[in-house]
Amino acid sequence: MFIVENYGVAIMLCVVTMLCWGSWANTTKLTSKEWRFELLYWDYGLGILITTIILAFTLGSNGTEGRAFLNDLHQADNANLQSAIIGGVVFNLANILLVAAIGIAGMSVAFPVGIGIALVLGVVINYLGNPQGNPGLIFSGVALIVVAIILNARAYQKMQSSDTTKVSQKGLILSVVSGCLMGLFYKYVADSMVHSFNTPEPGKLTPYTALVFFAIGVVASSFIFNGLQMWRPFAGEPIKISSYFSGKMKDHLVGILGGAIWCVGMSLNIIASGKAGPAVSYGLGQGATVVAAIWGIFVWREFDKANKDTKSMLNIMLLLYIIGLALIIGSK
């Protein structure tokens, strides 16, 4: 299977992760106006599952290192398969809440708050589970990102008018809850995997097998989480499942594309974690917040009506994020 042997290459893969994780949500803006994100989400999960299966039978089954996908699957312990599935379930709930927050509060708010919190929790949890890297640099970077999160939330509050305060609070609350859950999912996947990708220990999963079962957790739990969301949506009217089958082909393809983009980022991040360590790999990947904020601010113009002070606050937020991520990179 394909294995990363060089720290520099691992960092490059994490940067690609950052771009994928920060950009996939743009697909929610490319569908038809009547195509709600609850409907898009079915195709999003399908895109994740298809991508993991393709990677498992290509990169995960070729080469002389590690263990091929089918061989790995046959020897895997049920406890490790279940851990990867749980990771998918936890991620799915967090992500559904994040997509809802994007619809209510916008990308430049939901991502910095939600994913920023996820970054802090995820780095701490993954570092404690597998301590790799200089803790001073890692947690200094995390501290700067916390300040950036606070600035972003404050900038959002300042630009809201009084008649949208209730909606604004809902978007921020959903972002916070999503971030808390998002910070937990990665460790379940990491715990299911082998410690050495080159010489995998018995019972544990290679990254490619873990990703497939992670995706199974995402798709299976969607029947509960997304089904409930369609029945009692965070915003708008309830949706019938029949609406999904009346959608345009373009809308379905855009949803699958969004899942594939996110999953490519996840896959590269997991592969890179063998060399970079889970804390550094996850922390750098969640620099997606910067990418998403740039999309929201400069492309989708979500803060065009903000005053100069608010825009200056956003620029400081982005700068702190970049410095914080640089410290995390330099920690190993």
Helices (H), the chain: 7-23, 37-57, 69-75, 78-105, 107-110, 116-129, 135-159, 165-192, 207-231, 242-245, 249-276, 278-285, 288-294, 308-329
Confidence of residue 19 (pLDDT cuts 50, 70, 90): very high
pLDDT of residue 316: 92
Q: How far apart are CA 209 and CA 261, in angstroms?
A: 19
Q: Helices 37-57 & 207-231, crossing angle to 10 degrees?
A: 170
In this structure, what token pair is assigned to residue 166? 């209730």
Per-residue confidence (pLDDT) for residue 273, from 0 to 100: 92
Return the closest-CA partner of residue 167 out of 116, 97, 112, 234: 234
What is the percent of the chain with per-residue pLDDT over 70, rounded to a whole number?
95
Model confidence at 289, pLDDT cuts 50, 70, 90, reads: confident
Would you state the structure tokens that stand for residue 327, as one six-digit string? 């410290």
Both tokens assigned to 282: 């996850």
What span, in angstroms and rounded, lies between the C-alpha atoms of 58 and 52?
Answer: 10
CA pair distance 91, 251, nearest whole angstrom? 23
Residue 2 has pLDDT above 60, yes or no: yes
| Residue count (the chain) | 332
How much is the pLDDT for 163? Answer: 43
According to DSSP, the residues that pair with 205 across neighbouring strands are 193
Tell me the C-alpha distance between 192 and 206, whole Å.
9
| Residues 305 and 38: beta-carbon distance below 8 Å | no
Is residue 167 over pLDDT 50? Answer: no
Residues β-bridged to residue 193? 205
Is the confidence at residue 224, as pLDDT, over 90?
yes
Cβ distance 3 to 198 under 8 Å? Answer: yes
Please, which pLDDT band fits residue 17 given cuts at 50, 70 and 90? Answer: very high
Give tens-digit pLDDT for 108-135: 677 778 877 888 899 899 999 889 889 9
314-120-208 Cα angle (round to 5): 115
Query: Per-residue confidence at 166, pLDDT binned at 50, 70, 90?
Result: very low
pTM beyond cutoff 0.75: yes
pLDDT of residue 67: 94
Q: Residue 29's pLDDT band (boundaries 50, 70, 90)?
A: confident
Enter the tokens of residue 80: 């490790």
The 10s digit of each residue's pLDDT in 57-108 is 999 999 888 999 999 999 999 999 999 999 999 999 998 998 788 778 766 6
d(CA 6, CA 218) in angstroms, rounded, equals 31
